[in-house]
Structures are given as C-alpha cells and as structure tokens.
Amino acid sequence: MTPEEIARLSLIASIEGGSEFWAREVKGSSAYTVVESLKSGFYLGGKHSADKITEQIRKLNLDQIQQELLASHCTFVTPESEDWPLQINDLLAPPFGLICRGETTILKSESISVVGSRNPTSYGVRIANEFASGFADRDWTVVSGGAYGIDTAAHKGALAAEGGTIVVLGSGVNQIYPAGNERLFREIEETGLLVSEVLPSVHALPVRFLIRNRIIAALSRGTLVIEAAYRSGSLRTAREAAQILRIVMATPGSISSPASEGCHRLIANREAELVSSVSDVMELVLPLDDARMPI
C-alpha cells in the first residue's frame, strides 16, 4: 500500500464514517497529512478536539489490519484506485475508502439504487424483483443495502437476470447482517460486490445503517423507493440522493396501504418522480440522446 492508502485505512479504523469535518480536512490536504497531524497532537484541545482519535491512531497495529484485509479476501479501494467510483466524490463526506469483497470493477458500472421497506407486502416484493430484473436486463447494476424485504427482493431480481448487484453494508464484510441473508451475500460475491466503510470484523450498529445510506445514494444515477412507511430509513436515502442532485423516484401503491405512505408522501411533495415501469426509470436516468433509443 502507498502511504496515502495506509493513512486512509488508519482513518477508517479510527473515525466513524460520515464526518463532514474530517472529510474536509482530508480534501484540503491529504489523508497522510491528517494522520500525521493527529499523531503529533495538532488537533488536541481546539474546537475540533480529537484526543480519543489521536489515541486510537497511535495505538493502531497497521500490519495486523492489513493482514485482516488479506485473510478476509478484501480489496481496499481508495481515490487512488482505478476502480474508485468518481460519483461518490459528490458527497459532503465521502468515505475514506471502501473495503470490498467481490468484483470491484462493478463500482464503475451504471447503476440504480433500489430501497424500501423491511416489511413489504407481496406487491412490493414482486415490484422490486421485476424492476431489478429489468435493470439487469439493460446491463444496469442494482445497488441496495442487503436488508430483509425490498432490498433482498432487488438483489435477488438482479441475480435472477444474471446481472450485477452491490450490497452496501452497515457492518464489516465478515459480520453479515442480517444473518439470514448470508447465503444471498455469498452468491452476490461471485459476480457482484459487498461494500463497507468499516473494517471487516466491525459489528453492525443502528447508526451505521443511516450513515451508509449516503453511499447507496451516491453510487447510482438515481434512487428508486418501493414501499416505504411514513417514517422510514428509505426516505433518508431519498433525501441523501436529492442533496447530491441524484434523481429520486417512487412507485405508487394502494391508497389504503400504510406500506406505501412514504412513497405517496415523496410523490405528493414533488420530492420524487412517479414511475410505474423500468422504461419510466430509464427515461429519467439516461442522457437525453440515450433515452430516445429503443430499450
């Protein structure tokens, strides 16, 4: 690894993802400069006191961390890497790096994020599966979070159509969550990718699922919400997408279904485009000249 890559690995091991302050510090200089400044105590005692981070940085066993990546069959992708997805730089707090298991070249593919309820109706599961299969048929990668419900249906739809799919985890790649999707994740590794911004053995925490939503939004041309309750983590992903000028889309459901209240809210507030087919999505996310081509 280069000194910059090692520094980014150090930051991943010491700082929770999603920090706009530390992202600005790295962007303003380099990860290597930030890490060396932390080691020297530069950030101690000021407005952005980092005594705990400094202590953590100084204690790191980087050889052990690199061995963990190797033993976990992981690839560490950073802005220095050929496979780094440039679109993720649109985030105010891009990850310091991505710890990946699977086919990293898929990060450069055209993709659509599909998110939704963990407790979907049979209608929602069918729609997510059909949309994902349709995207895969058009050689678009499906990005989601690997949760039960809509996420799982989307990943399975992409696989069924022999397409690519990316799981953005809220844990390390060795700490599969939810555990019931372990077999699905192993299948995804064969042709797709597991992505995390924490070390392989880091456990899932509720806050990490909210933090990782920004990565789901940033990787894709647009985010499609299929069934979301009035208060839903999927709406957080939709907001993250809108903040970085990604297209937000939602499928309508029954007017009496609580499972679709979040989608109806997005559509009514003009925060999402109503879509009812894969062709609708393609017209929104493709450049104008490509959108006019038959699909």
Question: What does the pLDDT read at residue 294?
Answer: 42
Question: What does the pLDDT read at residue 190?
Answer: 94
Question: What does the pLDDT read at residue 241?
Answer: 95
Question: What does the pLDDT read at residue 289?
Answer: 46
Work out how many domains the chain is built from and give that number.
2
φ and ψ at residue 116, rounded to 5 degrees: 170, -165
φ and ψ at residue 255, rounded to 5 degrees: -65, -15
Please check whether residues 175 and 227 belong to one and the same domain.
yes
The residue among 132, 249, 107 whose CA lies nearest residue 184 is 132
Question: What does the pLDDT read at residue 231?
Answer: 83
Please check whether residues 108 and 210 belong to one and the same domain.
yes
pTM above 0.85, yes or no: yes
Please check whether residues 131 and 58 belong to one and the same domain.
no
Domain that holds residue 124: 104-291
Question: What does the pLDDT read at residue 293?
Answer: 41
The residue among 28, 31, 30 whose CA lies nearest residue 9 is 31
Please check whether residues 27 and 147 belong to one and the same domain.
no
Please check whether residues 60 and 117 belong to one and the same domain.
no
89 DSSP β-pair partners: none
**What is the block-wise mean pLDDT of the chain (295 residues), using blocks of 10 residues?**
96 95 95 95 71 92 96 97 96 97 96 96 97 97 97 98 97 94 96 97 93 97 94 90 96 93 96 97 79 41
Question: What does the pLDDT read at residue 292?
Answer: 40
- 18 belongs to a structural domain: yes
